[in-house]
Amino acid sequence: MDVCAEVATPITENAGSLAANIQKSQVVSQEILTCTDEAAIQACLDKIDTLDSSFNAGQETLTDLCRSLDDKLKINIQTAINAQKAFVTQTHAMTDAQKTKLEKSQQASQRLTDFENQCKILNETLFEFTRQAETAMNEKEETAKTMAMSGDATVEVLGEIIEETFNDNYPLVIGAATLTKYLIQLKDVAHIYLNERDAEQLQALEEKFQKLAKSFASNQKRLQSRLQTEESKTTFQNLTDGFNKMQDIVLAKDGLFALYRESQAANDHAVSIQESMLTESTNCITAIDSVVNLAKNLHNEAKSNANTRVHQAQSSLVTIILGGIVVGVLFGILIARSIIKPLKRTVNMLKDIAEGEGDLTQRLDDTRLDEMGEMARWFNIFIEKLLGIIKQIMNNANTLSASSLQLSATATQMATSAEGMHSQSSSVAAAAEQMSAKMTNISSSTEKMSGNINTVASSIEEMTASGLSEISSASQEITKNISGVNSGVKENSEGAAQTQAAGNQLSELSRNLKSLVGHFKLGQMSFQAAPIKEAHSLWKTKLSDFLDGKISLDPAEINDPHVCDFDKWYMDEGTQKYGRLQIFQDIDLSHQKVHKTAQKVAQLVKDGKKQEARELFKQFHDITAKLFDQLDHLEQEINQTETATV
């Protein structure tokens, strides 16, 4: 067993490494068929040789590990070695085939370039030949016109000229057009040939090319018999030589078609070798897997036999030693556990509750039918009632905290409004006093003016004096009333300060209460609006203090709604639990509006636009109140739903 245990794991690891080596060789061999130059092919071949060297080193280690084990392992290892050798040999053969393919493809590509250039030359030659024939026709036509206009030509002479044109020159033009048509067809067949892989189709296309070439040569000979000028004969000879050269480029033993066929044959040979390589690599991997499976089976068999003997010895020993102990002690242990353990747990729970660190979600086992079970049932009832009381206290503390913050915010707003009203009323009082003084001056000036004018001035004096007197009296009355307003505003400001102080005391009281209750573990609680309202009320108070210049605040410190703790709960757990409720869906818009409005208020204060900020802060108060109402409504609806479910 020891030998198998020591060898099985190394055999498995080494065999896995060999299998991975073979798979890498398969990948590299497939890359060879996609290489486009000999350098890339050689690089892949070098990788194959490196992997082969690694495989040989690994198989030698594997052979040494299996030397003392089953002969089947040795047979499978030798099978894997033979398959790997065949794989490497075929890889080299496939590499040679791929190189041949690339060589022939490059030669065929050069032949195709030569063929395209030669076709271009032939087209130019045919164009020149056609031009010469058309020039001769035009010259004869001009001669006939000149003779006809001069009156020197007879009908017989003109007829001879026309007959000569149609018999000699016109057939040359038609013949050149026919040759151009054959040349285009030859070019098309050559291109189709280079995109075809089926052997029968290749043979048919080559025969078609040869047939078109014969037709071209036949028409060429007929056309040659009509040549009369040395210029046309010279041009036609160039055409003949160019056509013969084109045929050699395509149909020769080392021509375009032959090189293409050799390239395709080399490619087919490489693909065939690759299929055989795949078979060899599969055989190699299969043999290696067999080695691994045999090693594992031998290891498991030896381990199983050894474990069986060990277990038998252990069982006998345990039976002898523990037989007497179990019989004597079992009954006492059962009794002690049934009495002491429940009592100890009850004492620990009561101790935790007394010290303020209790877990009120834990319960005693009350399924027993004896006195311990009855005690557990009454204890559980007591804990359940205590849990309800603590939860109620926690809810009330949260509500108190949110309300105290709201009270403080409202008091702050009242104080702010009172201070603004006091400032405005003082301005109005000053303006009224100034207006009264001006009215007195105007009255004095009018009295001086009225002393210099007789009858008319007397009337003006009476009218002006009485009117200005009334205005002055009214101004004094306004001043008196504004002074009263100032006094009332001051009282309101003092009352707001007292209210704010009381709100702060309530907030401190609620925090202390929550701190005390927080020592208890209450388990999962339903949705509570108070903590959310408290958090947003705190920001509302900060914003109010910033508006009054009591603190400094960067608008960027106001959290984006999507990183707010409430928003995180809303988008995740809240949506999963309560996303079906319409009031829950409406809260999202109100919550976003609260954050955006708060940011706008802070930015206005930072920009020095405090009056606009105060107006917007009033709207912010209403927006926050709407959000708080929706949160209360959501809490009420959730509680009703959970109560109905219970």
DSSP code of residue 253: T
Confidence grade of residue 192 (pLDDT, cut at 50, 70, 90): very high
Which among 51, 70, 98 has a CA at the least distance from the CA of 8?
Answer: 70
What value does the mean pLDDT of the chain take? 74
Per-residue pLDDT of 90-137, as tens digits, reads 888 888 888 898 988 888 899 999 999 999 998 898 888 888 877 877
Per-residue pLDDT of 441-456, as tens digits, reads 534 543 443 344 343 3
Joined together, the tokens standing for residue 633 give 């409504």
Nearest-angstrom CA–CA distance, 80 and 289: 10
Q: Which of 428-442, 503-517, 547-561 has the lowest average pLDDT?
A: 428-442
Residue 399 pLDDT > 70:
no
Residues 6+ apart with CB under 8 A from 224: 236, 240
Q: Which of 15-24, 268-277, 390-399, 494-503 has the lowest average pLDDT?
A: 494-503
Nearest-angstrom CA–CA distance, 578 and 597: 26
- Whether the CA torsion 588, 590, 593, 594 is positive or negative: it is negative
**Among residues of the chain, what percentage have pLDDT more than 90?**
10
**Complete DSSP assignment for 547-591:** HTTSS---GGGSPPGGGSHHHHHIIIIIHHHHTT-HHHHHHHHHH
Confidence grade of residue 249 (pLDDT, cut at 50, 70, 90): very high
pLDDT at residue 211, rounded to an integer: 93
Find the mean pLDDT for residues 547-552.
Answer: 85
Which among 121, 113, 112, 111 has a CA at the least distance from the CA of 240?
Answer: 121
Tokens 């006091």 locate to: 422
pLDDT at residue 534, rounded to an integer: 82
Strands (E), 437-569: none
Nearest-angstrom CA–CA distance, 91 and 465: 127
Joined together, the tokens standing for residue 86 give 């065949």
pLDDT at residue 136, rounded to an integer: 75
* Strand, coil or helix: 255: coil
Nearest-angstrom CA–CA distance, 382 and 368: 18
pLDDT at residue 208, rounded to an integer: 93
φ, ψ (nearest 5 deg) of residue 359: -100, 100
Residues 6+ apart with CB under 8 A from 554: 602, 606
Q: How far is residue 190 from each of residues 109, 184, 206, 212, measured CA to CA in Å?
A: 12, 10, 8, 11
pLDDT at residue 209, rounded to an integer: 93
Find the mean pLDDT for residues 225-248.
Answer: 85
Nearest-angstrom CA–CA distance, 500 and 412: 7
Per-residue pLDDT of 345-393, as tens digits, reads 777 766 666 665 566 676 676 677 677 777 777 877 877 777 667 666 6
pLDDT at residue 335, rounded to an integer: 62
Contact 584, 592 (CB under 8 A): no
Q: How far is residue 231 from each of residues 126, 216, 227, 312, 611, measured CA to CA in Å?
A: 13, 21, 9, 116, 103
Contact 590, 630 (CB under 8 A): yes
Q: Report angle CA 24, 28, 33 to the nearest 5 degrees.
A: 150
Find the mean pLDDT for residues 14-42.
Answer: 82
* Strand, coil or helix: 67: coil
Instruction: Give the residue with greater pLDDT, 172 vs 332.
Output: 172
Nearest-angstrom CA–CA distance, 634 and 630: 6
Contact 170, 137 (CB under 8 A): yes
Nearest-angstrom CA–CA distance, 446 and 637: 76
- Whether the CA torsion 136, 140, 145, 146 is positive or negative: it is positive
Which among 215, 240, 228 has a CA at the least distance from the CA of 132?
Answer: 228
62: burial class by Cβ within 10 Å (0-12, 13-18, 19+)? buried
Which among 244, 218, 232, 245 has a CA at the least distance from the CA of 125?
Answer: 232
DSSP code of residue 359: B
Q: Report angle CA 405, 409, 411 to the nearest 5 degrees.
A: 115
Residue 515 pLDDT > 70:
no
DSSP code of residue 69: S
pLDDT at residue 464, rounded to an integer: 36
Most confident of 152-161, 238-247, 289-298: 238-247
- What count of other Cβ atoms lies within 10 Å of the Cβ of residue 547? 23
Residue 324 pLDDT > 80:
no
Confidence grade of residue 140 (pLDDT, cut at 50, 70, 90): confident
Confidence grade of residue 640 (pLDDT, cut at 50, 70, 90): confident
Per-residue pLDDT of 281-297, as tens digits, reads 888 888 777 777 776 77
- What count of other Cβ atoms lies within 10 Å of the Cβ of residue 400? 19
541: burial class by Cβ within 10 Å (0-12, 13-18, 19+)? buried
Residue 422 pLDDT > 60:
no
Q: Report angle CA 67, 72, 74 to the nearest 5 degrees.
A: 40
Amino acid making up residue 580? R
Q: Report angle CA 320, 325, 327 to the nearest 5 degrees.
A: 105
Residue 631 pLDDT > 80:
yes
**Among residues of the chain, what percentage have pLDDT more than 70?**
63
User: What region does 608 belong to: left with phi over 0, alpha with psi -120 to 50, or beta?
Assistant: left
Which among 253, 251, 211, 213 has a CA at the least distance from the CA of 122?
Answer: 213
Q: Report angle CA 385, 387, 393 to the nearest 5 degrees.
A: 105
Residue 478 pLDDT > 60:
no
E strand or H helix at 503, and its extent? helix 455-517
Find the mean pLDDT for residues 256-280.
Answer: 88
* Strand, coil or helix: 521: strand
